[in-house]
Amino acid sequence: MKRNSMTYAIMARVIICLLAGIFGGWVISEGSYQLNKNPEARDEANKVVLEIPEGTAERLSKGESASDIPTSLTFVVGDLLVVKNDDTVSHQLGPVWVPPKSSGVLQIDIPDEYSYACSFGETQVFGLTVLPQLTPASRLQGAMTIGLPTALILGLYSTIVWPIRKPEQVEA
């Protein structure tokens, strides 16, 4: 009988710590998601403009740096890369050929790491990282990633602060 009450006390503590940890992880994960989510932001983030300044081809032909142009960008599936060519010569980024003073668009559809040949970079290679869109499963994974270690810490802490005591032995 005494052993059962001790087992129930341990099981209750484990369940309470798991629930508290997972709930806390969910609050932190979902809270940060909601605070950073802006309804208009996704529409704005849908178009990423990469500007090729005037004189880029000339600087590159002289061996100078085109440091104002990034060498890689990160996207989410569904984004558009708009390549705006303000230069006086045509430029190319992978399958997108952009005549002078115009723009070209690359639809980002498949999550992966890409390396495209480009005519406006020093290395002549442009990297694209495409991430999948956030799903309920990935949000749950974030909550569990925070929640399970938190539950473990709560369990250890509660054992130190409130140790489970063996019931007093009753003499018959």
- Domains of the chain from N-terminus onward: 2-37+135-161 (no CATH), 45-131 (2.60.40.420)
Spell out the long-range contacts of 167-170 with Cβ–Cβ below 8 A and sequence spacing 24 or more: 167/2, 167/5, 167/6, 169/2
Q: Contact, 98 vs 83, CB < 8 A?
A: yes
Most confident of 52-61, 97-106, 141-150: 97-106
> Is the pLDDT at 66 greater than 80, yes or no?
no
pTM as predicted: 0.59
**In whole angstroms, what is the distance from residue 45 CA to residue 13 CA?**
45
Q: From CA 120, how far away is CA 87, in angstroms rounded?
A: 10
Task: Please choose, from the candidates 40, 19, 13, the residue with its C-alpha nearest in 3D space to the C-alpha of residue 147.
Answer: 19
Rounded Cα distance, 172 and 169, in Å: 9
Question: Taking all residues of the chain, what is their mean pLDDT, rounded to a whole number?
Answer: 84
What is the pLDDT averaged over residues 102-106?
A: 94
